[in-house]
Every structure is written in structure tokens, then in C-alpha cells.
Chain A
Amino acid sequence: GDSVTQTEGPVTLSEGTSLTVNCSYETKQYPTLFWYVQYPGEGPQLLFKVPKANEKGSNRGFEATYNKEATSFHLQKASVQESDSAVYYCALSDPGGSNAKLTFGKGTKLSVKS
């Protein structure tokens, strides 16, 4: 079945440093790839999604490129802020699967210190 593997947390960074959260996936089809962010006390919310291979998604300074050859979708940000402290989930939706189920990674908890 489909699977998503992402950087195991927690990750602790200082404000102003760069972030990379690795995400690798396995699926038989060409999926749509998602990054979600979950702030304390809230449900996950979409950061961005990329439906096509070799395209980049971005939002709030975060970006990721859908790399079909490497089956990767790594999340990057050049300069993190304390407000970026959250849990980040990589996910995929398989067009060959049933009824828009999403397969999530286990999440990466990011703490940013000032």
C-alpha cells in the first residue's frame, strides 16, 4: 500500500536558521502531494499541495518540489520564525485509491527558539 516517511522529530532550531523536513513516499500511481501544518490546540490545515510532478508548491515562505524520480517532497524554509513552531505532516492522495483517502506521514514537530 501507499506510505509516507518523513523526518523524525522533534526538530529544534533557532530563529533565522533554515529548515528542511524530508518527505519520501511510495505509491503505484502518480499522487497529489500535500504539506499540512498543525498548531497547538488546532486541527491540521493545508500549507500547500502539488498535483503535478516537477512542480513546486509554496506558502508563507515554505516550499517543496514534487520530485517524481526521487519520490520525494521535502519541505524547506530559508529562515524560520518562532511562529513556525508546529507539527508538519506530509501526505499523499493516490488517484488509484478509493474515495480521496490521504496517507499521512507520522509528523515532524518543529520548535523554534528566539
Chain B
Amino acid sequence: GGIITQTPKFLIGQEGQKLTLKCQQNFNHDTMYWYRQDSGKGLRLIYYSITENDLQKGDLSEGYDASREKKSSFSLTVTSAQKNEMAVFLCASSPGTFYAEQFFGPGTRLTVL
């Protein structure tokens, strides 16, 4: 088995601030993902990466940057936090084949004051 670790668990920022979320996986999976979860809107894909140093935009990439530093880690940066923004950011990993499941971390809960 394996585990996905997301840090921090809670993140409080100020409007306009640049904020970075980190994700580590020890499944040795090739593909990693960042999702944003808002109440009533489900899971929306921000960025994904099929291998180290690869980056692919999802449906919600505007306002975010991402970095796949190595196979086991994937970071997400909120380039300019929006006032009153509240969401949960979920990291996931997968072997990368179309029939494979994605394994999710516990999430980072963002609040912008």
C-alpha cells in the first residue's frame, strides 16, 4: 500500500498573497493531479502531471501554477489569493492507465481573509 501526504492541512492567507500547497506520494505512481473541491461543484481538475517535469492544464488552471519536482512530489501555487475564497484542494496519484483508479490525499483547506 501507499499514502498521499498533503501539507499544510489548513492554510489561511491574505488577499493577493501567493500560497503554496505540497503533495507527496509513496505509491511510485507516474501521474499526479491537483483538484479543487467547492461545495456543490464537485471536483474540478486544476493541473496534472504524467511524469517528472511534465505539466498539463486542467479545466481550472487560471490563477494557479504547478510544479512536479520529482516523481513523488507535486506542488500547487495559488498565484494571488482571492478575498473570501474557501475551498479544499485535493491531490491524487495514479499509475496513469485509463482504467486505473486515482488515490487521493486528505486535502488542504484554504481560507482567504
Size bracket of the A interface: 20 to 34
Contact in complex: B107, A43 (CB < 8 Å): yes
Please provide the chain B residues from 32 to 63 with a CB less than 8 Å away from any CB of chain A in the complex.
40-43, 45, 48, 50, 56, 58
Contact in complex: B99, A32 (CB < 8 Å): yes
Q: Which residue of the partner chain B has the closest CB to A4?
A: B42
Total number of residue pairs linking A and B with CB closer than 8 Å: 59
Contact in complex: A100, B98 (CB < 8 Å): yes
Interface residues in B, total, Cβ within 8 A:
27
Contact in complex: B48, A105 (CB < 8 Å): no
Chain B interface, DSSP helix/strand/loop, else mixed: loop
Asked, given contacts A99-B56, A104-B42, A107-B42, whether A94 binds B90 with beta carbons under 8 Å apart, the answer is: no
A105: which of B42, B56, B94 is its contact (CB, 8 Å)?
Answer: B42
Contact in complex: B98, A32 (CB < 8 Å): yes
> What is the minimal beta-carbon distance from B9 to any residue of chain A, in angstroms?
10
Asked, given contacts A99-B96, A106-B41, whether A46 binds B101 with beta carbons under 8 Å apart, the answer is: yes
- A46 CA to B106 CA, complexed, in Å: 14
6 A-B pairs with C-beta separation under 8 A:
A43-B107, A45-B103, A93-B99, A95-B99, A101-B48, A106-B40
